[in-house]
Amino acid sequence: MSLTLLVLEDDDGIRTALSLAMEDEGYDVMEAASAEAALELVSRTPPDLMLVDIMLGGMDGFSFIREVRPTSQAPIIVLSARTDTHDIVAALEAGADDYVTKPFQVKEIGARLRAMRRRASGVGPPGSSSDQDALVLDSERGPLVLDVGAGVVRSGTEEVHLTVTEFRLLCELASPPGRVLSRRALLERVWERGYFGDERIVDVHVRRLRTKIESNANSPQLVVTVRGQGYRLDTR
């Protein structure tokens, strides 16, 4: 079955080129030239993946992502002419999974989407399976259960809603817990080997993950920074 892809881009030429190319790759494409129109489309037909331009008239891409993220875990790739660190980090913190700066080649977008699909179809780390034991993370807010096979994290009876990227990041840190992983290692494992993105994307996703699983994201007890080395998951 074809996956549904939302293309939110206010430049008619770019939007048409992306849509035609992605349709050739087998996606059912929904097009929107504004965030407001995109929100209406998403409410009627939730997409499986999204390409979102940041610089839009009216509601910008940052606001759109923040609006849809609470109800959608679909991977989001940001398209932006902005290369400033602040803008890139802001897009990721809003809830985006990846970013591509303009100008770009359409084949790069196709490759990024395929990588997103592979991550979404195999959420846990390599070698994980549905019969793998769940891992209990003992946090100050109470025990968190990381169920790799089911692809969920639970706090008591409540599910902690993580994006595909956040869940993959947690799984990598948990296999096994206590091991220090560098930013580059996490970039290659979570975003796939051969991905040449900025290592800052790891830091932003770690911050987002902490806000969801730590009792105090500013003083993390689970996902711990090891100065000069990377990150480690402590199960206590």
- What are the domain boundaries of the chain? 4-121, 135-233
> Beta strands 230-233 and 223-226: pairing type?
antiparallel
Q: How many helices (H) and strands (E) does the chain have?
A: 8, 11
Helix (H) or strand (E) holding 13: helix 12-24
State mean pLDDT over 53-69: 93
pLDDT of residue 193: 55
CA distance 106 to 70: 29
The first and second tokens of residue 32, run together, are 């929107």
Half-sphere exposure of 5 (CA within 13 A, CB side): 26
Q: Is the pLDDT of residue 13 over 60?
A: yes
> Beta strands 142-147 and 152-155: pairing type?
antiparallel
Q: Which CATH number fits domain 135-233: 1.10.10.10, 3.10.105.10, 3.40.50.720, 3.40.50.740?
A: 1.10.10.10
CATH topology of domain 4-121: Rossmann fold (3.40.50)
State mean pLDDT over 38-59: 94
